[in-house]
């Protein structure tokens, strides 16, 4: 089954009120959806991450650099296609935008293989569970959201039945070495470290009232001693994990932090590729490993990262923060591994997650997200939603 065509489209949702994490200020969110066609008429769809950059760049790499490398290859030889893309781009790739673009093609190839085999992707990968317990991933910054409103938001998730919720911290201009001053709208939604502690404390009180868990995500903005100081306060509050506390290149700091805290350090969604994750895993710089199949190198690479994590007795819980394709592809990955756990379920308003599929992914009455059972990723794109949000035509 030969690959005959590879293309990408860009969908964009503009927010009425911007949302922010410690580094990014989102007035809009983009999704780069990748389609791979074959000579047998089977098509696969994936998504390529474009976090932090213009989605047009990712689309360009998919269509102009990677498509010529993979067209003509057997779509069912996924390892071969992956290695060919990696080797051919090695001199300017091995990460960044290239591996994100590769990820989109890789996910589409797994969709094709599942359709060809007549099996959902997670079963093709070995199959470990048919349902996933989701956690509410939200608590972003916005200008109208004060601490009380944040605590109310977190309470609404526990009220809906979520056992875990995650919130953002880290827009702290006072922290030395923070990347924040160089980011867009760096002066908005700023908090001191002390105010962040108050925000987390308010939410952790709500969590305790519900017998639920709270996680905290600093999105790479702290230096080592700030993360140690904050982490020690968070663990007194019973915070369940501290996510991406440090800059990506500060692995020594993350080793020090993980050793200094009793609470788990989770990360690093912003890292990509098996070789980079190897350093976090083998040096015990993280307690929870968080790759993303649309960002870190596709399902093919994430399985290897998860297996390496398993060899060090570490759980692997993917990062999920984009369209319905990102969600479903990461669900198949997570449902296939035996060192997985809870599923990140973004709760920000986002029609590209909720309105992109004919049968949207929802939390069932039992509190779980159940795996799609149709072959491949097991989902169908809604053309009316594509027409409404597509921006590259």
| Interface positions with Mg ion (CB under 5 A) | 217, 243
Complex with Mg ion: residue 101 or 218, whichever CB lies closer: 218
Smallest distance from the beta carbon of 336 to Mg ion, in angstroms? 22
- Decide whether 65 or 243 has the Cβ nearer to Mg ion: 243
Query: Looking at beta carbons, which residue is closest to Mg ion?
Result: 217
Nearer to Mg ion among residue 62 and residue 316 (C-beta)? 316
Matching residue, tokens 């490398």: 69
Instruction: Please state the closest distance from residue 292 (CB atom) to Mg ion, in A.
Output: 9
In the complex, the smallest distance separating the C-beta of residue 156 from Mg ion, rounded to whole angstroms, is 20
Cβ at position 135, least distance to Mg ion in Å: 12
Minimal CA–CA distance to 114: which of 106, 249, 185?
106
By C-beta, is 24 or 156 nearer to Mg ion?
24
Is the CB of 127 or the CB of 341 nearer to Mg ion?
341
Q: Which is nearer to Mg ion, 217 or 271 (CB)?
A: 217
Nearest residue (CB) to Mg ion, 340 versus 372:
340
Residue 10 has which token pair? 């860009």
β-sheet bridge partners, residue 246? 222
Distance CA 243, CA 326 (A): 20
| Closest approach of Mg ion to the CB of residue 219, in Å | 6
**Cα–Cα distance, 255 to 285 (Å, whole number):** 4
CB of 343: closest distance to Mg ion in angstroms?
Answer: 14
- 65 and 23 in contact (C-beta within 8 Å)? no
| Closer of 196 and 243 to Mg ion (Cβ) | 243
- DSSP 8-state secondary structure symbol assigned to residue 237: T
Query: Would you say the C-alpha torsion 181, 183, 188, 190 has a positive or negative sign?
Result: negative
Nearer to Mg ion, 76 or 137 (CB): 137
**Cβ 264 to Mg ion shortest distance, Å:** 14
Name the token pair of 274.
Answer: 């098996």
* CB burial readout 304-336, b (16+ within 10 A) else e: ebbebbbeeebbbbbbbbbbbbbbbbbbbbbbb
Closest distance to Mg ion from the beta carbon of 347 (Å) = 14
> Is 391 exposed, middle or buried, given 0-12, 13-18 or 19+ CB atoms closer than 10 A?
middle
Q: What phi-psi label fits residue 58: left (phi over 0), alpha (psi between -120 and 50 degrees) or beta?
A: alpha
Query: Minimum distance between the CB of residue 291 and Mg ion, rounded to whole angstroms?
Result: 12
* Gap between the Cα atoms of 274 and 68, Å rounded: 25
Of 8 and 331, CB closest to Mg ion: 331
Instruction: For strands 241-243 and 369-370, give the pairing.
Output: unpaired
Least distance in Å: CB of 177 to Mg ion?
19
* DSSP state string for 297-347: THHHHHHHHHHHHHHTT--B-----SSHHHHHHHHHHHHH-TT--PEEEE-
Query: Residue 112 in contact with residue 36, Cβ under 8 Å?
Result: yes
Q: On the CB side of 343, how many CA atoms lie within 13 Å of its CA?
A: 28
379/328 Cα distance (integer angstroms):
8
């Amino acid at each position: 089954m030969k690959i005959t065509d590879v293309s990408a489209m860009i969908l964009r949702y503009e927010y009425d009120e911007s949302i922010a994490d410690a580094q990014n200020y989102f007035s809009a969110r983009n999704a780069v959806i990748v389609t791979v066609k074959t000579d047998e008429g089977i098509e696969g769809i994936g998504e390529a991450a474009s976090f932090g950059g213009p989605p047009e760049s990712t689309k360009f790499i998919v269509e102009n650099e990677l498509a010529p490398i993979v067209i003509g290859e057997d779509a069912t030889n996924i390892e071969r296609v992956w290695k060919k893309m990696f080797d051919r781009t090695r001199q300017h790739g091995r990460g960044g935008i290239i591996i994100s673009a590769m990820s989109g093609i890789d996910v589409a190839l797994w969709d094709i293989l599942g359709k060809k085999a007549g099996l959902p992707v997670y079963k093709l990968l070995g199959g470990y569970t048919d349902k996933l317990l989701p956690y509410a991933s939200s608590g972003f910054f916005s200008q109208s959201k004060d601490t009380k409103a944040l605590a109310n938001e977190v309470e609404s998730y526990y009220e809906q039945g979520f056992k875990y919720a995650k919130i953002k911290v880290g827009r702290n201009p006072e922290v030395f070495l923070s990347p924040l001053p160089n980011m867009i709208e760096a002066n908005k939604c700023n908090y001191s470290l002390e105010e962040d502690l108050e925000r987390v404390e308010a939410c952790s009180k709500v969590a305790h009232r519900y017998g639920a868990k709270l996680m905290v995500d600093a999105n790479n903005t702290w230096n080592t001693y700030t993360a140690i100081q904050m982490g020690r306060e968070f663990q007194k509050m019973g915070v369940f994990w501290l996510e991406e506390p440090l800059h990506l290149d500060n692995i020594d700091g993350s080793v020090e932090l993980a050793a200094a805290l009793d609470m788990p350090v989770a990360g690093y969604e912003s890292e990509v590729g098996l070789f980079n994750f190897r350093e976090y895993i083998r040096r015990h710089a993280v307690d929870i490993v968080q790759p993303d199949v649309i960002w870190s190198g596709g399902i093919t690479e994430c399985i290897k990262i998860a297996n390496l994590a398993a060899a060090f007795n570490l759980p692997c819980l993917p990062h999920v923060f984009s369209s319905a394709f990102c969600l479903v592809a990461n669900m198949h990955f997570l449902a296939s591994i035996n060192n997985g756990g809870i599923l990140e379920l973004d709760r920000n308003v986002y029609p590209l997650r909720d309105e992109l599929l004919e049968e949207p992914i929802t939390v069932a009455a039992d509190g779980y997200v159940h795996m799609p059972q149709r072959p491949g990723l097991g989902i169908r794109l809604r053309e009316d939603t594509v027409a409404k949000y597509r921006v590259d035509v």
